[in-house]
Chain A
């Protein structure tokens, strides 16, 4: 069983590699579908001598090129017939074929990306993003530039008791450090009072 399987595998490998051509055995057989018995030395000499007259040499049929799918089908059929998994060599070959396909897809994608035009430069969208971030996107009701202005004119500032703790004996928590603009959002009480009294 093992020997037969090895032989079958060797044949499949040879066909897949293209090193072996498939020939038509029916033309050399005796007509009943079975191959002829081995010729005797006399017959062999006769055949060799009279080959040019009686029989034309059979042209070998070119071995078909196997793609990954066909190879996979052959592999499955062989595994089913023999009841054993194929040796690693065939699996590796199949994997290589699939890998080369994936590699081709990657290269094609890269080429497509290289061909795609990028008018202008990266600086423009970066600048626009920075401007929008600073001038437009509101944080606690005001954009960052608004809070900056409030801090400059003294309307807002960092203050104790607004979710932040700046005490020397206690470390400042990570959340407080991240939410610096939340702390900035604490409008001073006197500013608020003066605002409500109509000073602005």
Chain B
């Protein structure tokens, strides 16, 4: 249970931090670019999965 609480608290803290930062004029820029960098990171690391969408033959097996 301790692990779960730590996991949940970490996510909540991160979200709160981002929300507070986004309220500031200078923090907004940080949050904006951090989010875009996250999108880029996911696209790069999950490129294979994204590419598989465009591959044919998976539905029929």
Within 8 A of A (CB), among B1-26: 1-5, 7, 22, 25-26
Q: Does A116 contact B (CB under 8 A)?
A: yes
Contact present for A118 and B46 (CB under 8 Å):
no
Contact present for A178 and B3 (CB under 8 Å):
yes
Contact present for A125 and B32 (CB under 8 Å):
yes
Show the binding face of A for B, using Cβ within 8 Å.
Answer: 109-110, 113-114, 116, 118, 122, 125-126, 128-129, 132-133, 136-138, 143, 171, 173-175, 177-178, 200
* Chain A residues, CB < 8 A from B53: 136
**Distance of A118 Cα from B7 Cα, bound (Å):** 31
| Distance of A146 from chain B, by nearest CB (Å) | 11
**Distance of A64 Cα from B37 Cα, bound (Å):** 49
Residue-by-residue, is B32-61 near A (CB-CB < 8 Å gives 1, otherwise 0)? 110110110011001001100100000001
Known A114-B25, A178-B7; contact A125-B36, beta-carbon cutoff 8 A: yes
Contact present for B46 and A136 (CB under 8 Å):
yes
Show 12 residue pairs from A and B whose CB-CB distance is below 8 angstroms, ordered by the A residue.
A118-B32, A125-B35, A125-B38, A125-B39, A129-B38, A129-B39, A129-B42, A132-B42, A136-B49, A138-B46, A178-B3, A178-B4
Known A114-B29, A118-B29, A174-B4; contact A136-B35, beta-carbon cutoff 8 A: no
Contact present for A113 and B46 (CB under 8 Å):
no
What residue in chain B is nearest A115 (Cβ atoms)?
Answer: B29
Contact present for B29 and A138 (CB under 8 Å):
no
* Chain A residues, CB < 8 A from B42: 129, 132-133, 136-137
Contact present for A122 and B31 (CB under 8 Å):
yes
Identify B3's interface contact among A114, A143, A174, CB under 8 A: A174
Contact present for A143 and B22 (CB under 8 Å):
no
* Chain A residues, CB < 8 A from B38: 125, 129
| Distance of A140 from chain B, by nearest CB (Å) | 13
**Distance of A44 Cα from B38 Cα, bound (Å):** 83
